Amino acid sequence: MLTQRTRGEGPVTEIERHQVWMREALVEARLALAAGDVPVGAVAVHDGVIVGRGHNCKEALRDPTAHAEVLALQEAARTLGGWRLPDVTLYCTLEPCPMCAGAMIQARLPRLVYAVDDPKSGAAGSVLDLLQCGRFNHCVDVISGILARESQELLQAFFEGLRNGSIPWESFDRPGR
Residues that are catalytic: 69
Return all residues near 32 (Cβ < 8 A) that are at least 6 apart. 38, 39, 40, 41, 55, 56, 57, 68
